[in-house]
Amino acid sequence: MKIKKNLLTESAFTLTKARRTESAFTLIEMLVVVSIIGILAALATVSFSSTQKQARDTARKSDLKQYQNSLEAFANKNNGLYPAWYSGSAPMVSLCSALGITGTCPNDPRYDPVDGDPPPYGYQSDGTTADLMAKATQYILWARLENVTDTFWVVCSTGQSGKISSGTVFGGGACPAGLTQ
């Protein structure tokens, strides 16, 4: 009887042990899988964030192009003169009104005036007044880029456009030297 009992016990133990190794994952395997999933999720988040910034920068450049087209149309109706704004940056809502832009004025995708954010787009001309009347012969538009830190995208009345350091002081509507693509 003892022999049979030992055989049954040993046989049952072997069968139970075999089942466990076939149907379960070890703790190490689970940790490796969770770690890999975490790394992939982190990489996807960083990549997605960068792509969003790049898309918003593209929207900013497109907005400035729309302003440029409106400024050229304004000049065509006003003997080649642009709206005058000589110091600081003109309020873009006022510029839109002077240019006859109807509907929504192009604005930075992340701009929220309720939060007290500074105006993200700028306009300045060589006019001697700040009344947005047709008195200027050159202008400059700019927007702060998000994907490239401390950089502005600049559009000039000369047709030039490009990036420049945020330390640049815009003055008199003149296109700054050193624009890069």
Per-residue b/e over 68-104, b at no fewer than 16 CB within 10 Å? bebbeebbeeeeebbbbbbeebbebebbbebbebeee
Check residue 90 and give its pLDDT: 80
Please check the confidence at residue 10 and state whether its pLDDT lies above 60. Answer: no
Q: Tens of pLDDT along 86-112?
A: 777 788 888 888 898 888 888 887 777
Place of tokens 């009104």: 97
pLDDT above 70: residue 18: no
Instruction: Between 5 and 90, name the one with better pLDDT.
Output: 90
Please state, rounded to an integer, the average pLDDT across all residues of the chain.
82
Cα angle at 72 between 71 and 77, to 5 degrees?
A: 95
pTM, full prediction: 0.71
Does the pLDDT at position 127 exceed 90? no
Q: How confident is the model at residue 146, as a pLDDT?
A: 85
Average pLDDT over residues 48-56: 84
What is the model's pLDDT at position 17? 54
What is the average per-residue pLDDT within 75-92? Answer: 87
Among the residues of 78-177, which ranges form H helices?
Answer: 92-99
What pLDDT band is residue 9 in, cutting at 50, 70 and 90?
A: low
